[in-house]
Structure 1
């Protein structure tokens, strides 16, 4: 069905958008912070996506697309960088509001060091695969910057909790995209290891996408608080 990917996008954002007006979270009042974060991150990932599509790292099954293409990408793929980050940052904010106590705080640095080590290992073993190389290289840079250069505010313990929760809808959504399949991967450009039908790299693609969005979201929120003060 040609509307499959579009319907998946709509399904991803429907409940987060409707629940943005929840009286306790008031996520709609933070749109001025989240949408610039999504826009900046989206530009970076769209350039990445365009490059990977041209390099045949992945491709899109026309049987499940409406047929509208922009910049060489299906419309649905472009919408993906709006719907998924919005839903994930919504999860991040809801968890922070409803569950302010977070025991991951004392483990966040150790987790970051673990993931940084994993990035280095994946770059060593998978440097000859485009998806592995760019994916873990990007995550390494962003994670190292956020954890070791950014000293104004700390949020990684909140990020890791949101990432873990976001893996639940990730397995549902990405499961559909890779099982149908809507998105087709060239296994010559990844490690060839999958969790079900989902490439191993996709888990860390999500981490990098979410981390950049959350970091920018927190930056814009901090600047907004300073301007009000």
Structure 2
């Protein structure tokens, strides 16, 4: 059974959210199409990132916990990760946004984006010799600036707050993947390629890697959802 560990992590991450997607007060299932298009689009970029890092030994996988089926350099469980995790996060955001008013004031959100972008850029430049740290913080900084100033979205503050709410789930899932509660990690990291600061067993870069991925999933989900709604009116 141990070879199903990563597969079961994906399953239990998504199953409760999937079931409640059909709840009559939520009806997230009506937007499965928008989510699938968004997750495939964003997932492709992160999968290519993942493949490149795996090929270059930035991280690697312990096949003791995997069923053994690979696509390119990645186990199938890792590819499913880019669907299951965004599904749970986008679903949670959708629900909280539907039932609670969590919007930030425009000025507060602008300050948050600017300060965060400068901070992340500074970290990227300071650790320019650590490829995981450099790429993660640089791309997150650029993503925030593009989303806010170019694409003009007004929910980064709200999304950031909800991502923090999801932190216990992040620690549970990523903690197991990086070795919490296991004899050895499912995902191993080359210590030369990241800062070395860990939350439990989780490299801090993972937190911002996930943050950036969820922001882009939300952006494309709501864009495709809007297109679907407009198409239904025709």
CA apart distance, 1:113: 1.7
Structure 2 CA distance, aligned partners of 1:24 and 1:167? Answer: 25
Structure 1 CA distance, aligned partners of 2:76 and 2:227? Answer: 33
Aligned-partner SS, 2:217: helix
Cα root mean square deviation, aligned: 1.4
1:20-54 residue CA offsets vs partner (Å, 9 max, x unmatched): 11111110001121110000001000100000001
What aligned pairs does 1:59-78 form with structure 2 within 5 A after superposition? 59-78=60-79
1:46-80 residue CA offsets vs partner (Å, 9 max, x unmatched): 10000000110001111111111111111100110
Aligned-partner SS, 1:147: helix
Q: Which residue of 2 aligns with 1:213?
A: 217
Q: Which residue of 2 aligns with 1:148?
A: 149
Q: Which residue of 1 aligns with 2:228?
A: 224
CA apart distance, 1:105: 3.6
CA apart distance, 1:16: 0.7
Contact 2:103/2:158 (CA < 8 Å) preserved in 1? no
**What residue ranges of structure 2 are gaps of 5+ in the alignment?**
none
Structure 2 CA distance, aligned partners of 1:47 and 1:103? Answer: 33
CA apart distance, 1:222: 2.7
CA apart distance, 1:103: 5.2
Q: Which residue of 1 aligns with 2:52?
A: 51
Q: Which moved more, 1:177-186 or 1:80-89?
A: 177-186
Match of 1:192 among 189, 196, 201: 196
Q: Which residue of 2 aligns with 1:175?
A: 175
Structure 1 CA distance, aligned partners of 2:50 and 2:86? Answer: 15
Contact 1:3/1:65 (CA < 8 Å) preserved in 2? yes
Structure 1 CA distance, aligned partners of 2:72 and 2:141? Answer: 28
TM-score in terms of structure 2 length: 0.92
Contact 1:108/1:160 (CA < 8 Å) preserved in 2? no
Q: Which residue of 2 aligns with 1:157?
A: 157
Structure 1 CA distance, aligned partners of 2:15 and 2:59? Answer: 27
Contact 1:58/1:186 (CA < 8 Å) preserved in 2? yes
1:193-216 residue CA offsets vs partner (Å, 9 max, x unmatched): 111111010110011110110011
Structure 1 CA distance, aligned partners of 2:94 and 2:218? Answer: 10
The count of residues paired between Structure 1 and Structure 2 equals: 227
TM-score in terms of structure 1 length: 0.94
Q: Which residue of 2 aligns with 1:5?
A: 6
1:144-188 residue CA offsets vs partner (Å, 9 max, x unmatched): 11010113x522233122211222200111111112311101110
Contact 2:104/2:155 (CA < 8 Å) preserved in 1? no
**What residue ranges of structure 1 are gaps of 5+ in the alignment?**
none
Aligned-partner SS, 1:184: strand
Q: Which moved more, 1:107-116 or 1:180-189?
A: 107-116
Contact 1:24/1:97 (CA < 8 Å) preserved in 2? no
Contact 2:124/2:138 (CA < 8 Å) preserved in 1? yes
